Amino acid sequence: MHQSKEIAVKNPNDFNGEVLQLDSETTTGGKKMFIESYGCQMNFSDSEIVASILSEAGYKTTSQLNDADLILVNTCSIREKAEQTVRNRLEAFQGVKKTNPNVKVGVLGCMAERLKSAFLEEEKIVDLVVGPDAYKDLPNLVAEVEAGRDAVNVILSKEETYGDVQPVRLQSNGVTAFVSITRGCDNMCTFCVVPFTRGRERSRDPKSILEEINNLAESGYKEVTLLGQNVDSYLWYGGGPKKDFTKASALQQKTAVHFHQLLDLVAQAHPGIRIRFSTSNPQDMTRDALHIMAKHPNICNYIHLPVQSGSNVVLKAMNRQHTREEYMELIDDIKRIVPGCGISQDMIAGFPNETEADHKDTLSLMEYVKYDFGFMFMYSERPGTPAAKKLEDNIPPEIKKRRLQEIVAIQQSHGRFNNERYVGKTVEVLIEKESKKSNAQWSGRAQQNTVVVFPKQHYVVGDFVNVKIESCTSATLLGNAIDFGPMQNYQHG
């Protein structure tokens, strides 16, 4: 028996700590789980997989913390601040345990993988520790906990992609969705914990990807983002994921599906759905992928292309497999092949041994690219990474802070510069939700991933609307809707 039940996920990063309440079909039963997610979009996607697996085991999700029999926290280890936030939440859950001694608390994801049994043996603040590749074992592990035993499974897999699991769309607006196409990462950037917390890279069967997108299309979704730590290195040849490619037969290699081919397949299969992808790696992004973007009007002309630093010296120390010059050449090709393409960045300020000259190289690279927006951070040493083992975190905090402020300031000026180009022009917007500042306005995104806000009028969430831009801020376009037929205004540029 199925019925409409309350589904919720807490996303402090995107939703200011508010709990979203959505209706979805869930298996009825006596047990309830509360899921909280932190960090990258992959973690939120994983929470949807977890909800699906546990719903099959009879668990319903709830937004009421005090009603939960099981509290799960999907964690991030990318920065120290993220880990401290999770620790604070876990300590807060001890208060829930005082009023409900039967409630169980579990840690999922990257932080679980990194700290493993420390949570259970040293800190005694959780009952369950599950790594990113062990979610299918959750019903067994929960049973162990309910029997009074601690449970941990942080074994990394070279095969698991969860391609056979249909996610429960926990945080969805019913319009946009993320579809995982790869897991793990083989790029050993010295600052990054992902290869150690999410394991080796592997690609998902394209048939299962298309099946999931078909299901989303049938449910009325209008935009899909192909998701992975490094989508450009997607590679499937029919006999297995990328790791076995060198051993594949000549015939298998001939029939391999590379990322640009997957992108082509998805865009052709669903011309009425917007397609995005994230995240790209400069060393792996091919010109073939750019030409596929230019070929299909429903592939959004936007690329998130992390660079981390504009200095070749720092890039080498980070083990980034590209130089400043190669990155700039790729930027030139993006702008030539996909005119008007929105580009965003990841940037780290204060990497070990970074000099003022290195920092100025970063600023000059930003001036060259003029990113639409970006994600900028001070360097945070992560235990277990090559940088933590071999490099002293020797840039004083005040210098890190000042350099970050300079990076942020230049990005804000470029954001406004790029947005001002749209004033007086018409862009197509997919309505996603109400504006945060006014319930009389809609908020959506243009193809370039820029947020657009405009008066509601007669439109509804999920509509494609052509909006003439009247003004802007450094982060948002403001305008008024103009009536055209849906999907009529797709164009690059």
Same domain, 214 and 243: yes
Give the residue numbers spanning the domain of 250.
176-420
Q: DSSP assignment, residue 308?
A: B
Domain boundary among 368, 400, 420: 420
Phi, psi of 2 (to 5 degrees): -125, 150
Q: 127, 106 in Cβ contact below 8 A?
A: yes
Q: Token pair of 245, please? A: 């490619």
> Comparing 7-16, 242-251, 279-288, 310-319, which segment has the lowest mean pLDDT?
7-16
Yes or no: say if 48 and 72 are a contact pair by the CB < 8 Å rule: no
The crossing angle, in degrees rounded to 10, of helices 324-337 and 287-295 is 20
User: 52 and 140 in one domain?
Assistant: yes
Mean pLDDT of 1-6: 28
Residue 146 has pLDDT above 90, yes or no: no
Is 168 within the bounds of a domain? Answer: no
Instruction: Please say whether the beta carbons of 23 and 61 come within 8 A.
Output: no
The pTM of this model reads 0.85
The answer to whether position 487 is within a domain reads no
- 84 pLDDT band, cuts 50/70/90, is confident
Beta strands in 291-415 (DSSP E): 302-304, 342-349, 373-378
User: Can you tell me the mean pLDDT for 222-242?
Assistant: 87
For residue 171, tell me if it sits in a domain: no
122 and 263 housed in the same domain? no
pLDDT at 398 over 70: yes
C-beta atoms surrounding 94 within 10 Å: 11
CA dihedral sign of residues 291, 304, 280, 404: positive
CA 413 to chain CA centroid, nearest Å = 25
31 phi, psi to nearest 5 deg:
-95, 145
DSSP label at 284? T
**Residue 492: is its pLDDT beyond 70?**
no
Report the C-alpha gap between 285 and 260 in whole angstroms: 9
Q: Is the pLDDT of residue 10 over 70?
A: no
Mean per-residue pLDDT for 34-57? 89
Find, among 237, 280, 231, the residue nearest to 257 by Cα: 237
Domain total for the chain?
3
CATH number of residue 364's parent domain: 3.80.30.20
Residues 408 and 431 in one domain: no
Predicted local confidence at residue 77, as pLDDT: 76
Q: Decide if 158 is inside a domain.
A: no
On whether both 304 and 252 belong to a single domain, the answer is yes
pLDDT of residue 3: 30
Same domain, 125 and 227: no
Q: How far apart are CA 148 and CA 143, in angstroms?
A: 9
**Are residue 70 and residue 136 in the same domain, yes or no?**
yes
Answer yes or no: do 415 and 473 share one domain.
no
Instruction: Decide if 396 is inside a domain.
Output: yes
Pair type for strands 451-455 and 476-482: parallel
Give dist(CA 463, CA 404) in Å, integer: 38
Question: What pLDDT shows up at residue 6?
Answer: 26
Q: Within this chain, do residues 360 and 238 fall inside the same structural domain, yes or no? A: yes
Out of 420, 440, 470, pick the residue that ends a domain: 420
| Domain identity same for 257 and 396 | yes
**Residue 451 near residue 474 (C-beta atoms within 8 A):** no
Domain harbouring 133, CATH code = 3.40.50.12160
Q: Are residues 398 and 433 in the same domain?
A: no
The tokens of 357 are what? 């000259």
Tens of pLDDT, residues 112-141? 887 776 776 666 788 899 999 999 999 999
pLDDT tops 70 at residue 15: no
Percent of the chain with pLDDT over 70: 87
Q: Give the pLDDT band of residue 261 (cuts 50, 70, 90).
A: very high
| Domain membership flag for residue 148 | yes
Residue 412 is assigned to a structural domain of this protein: yes
- CATH number at 457 reads 2.40.50.140
At residue 170, the pLDDT reads 79
483 pLDDT higher than 80: no
- Which amino acid, residue 449? N
Which residue type, as a one-letter code, is found at position 335?
K
Q: Verify that 254 and 393 share a domain, yes or no.
A: yes
* Residue carrying structure tokens 């490099």: 391
For the chain, the first-to-last Cα distance in angstroms comes to: 50
pLDDT at 135: 93
pLDDT band at 340 (very low <50, low <70, confident <90, very high): very high
Where is pLDDT greater, at 82 or 434?
434
Taking the C-alpha atoms of residue 405 and residue 399, their distance in angstroms, rounded to an integer, is 10
**Are 103 and 68 within 8 A, CB to CB?**
yes
- CA 468/CA 423 separation, integer angstroms: 8
Q: Is residue 437 part of a domain?
A: yes
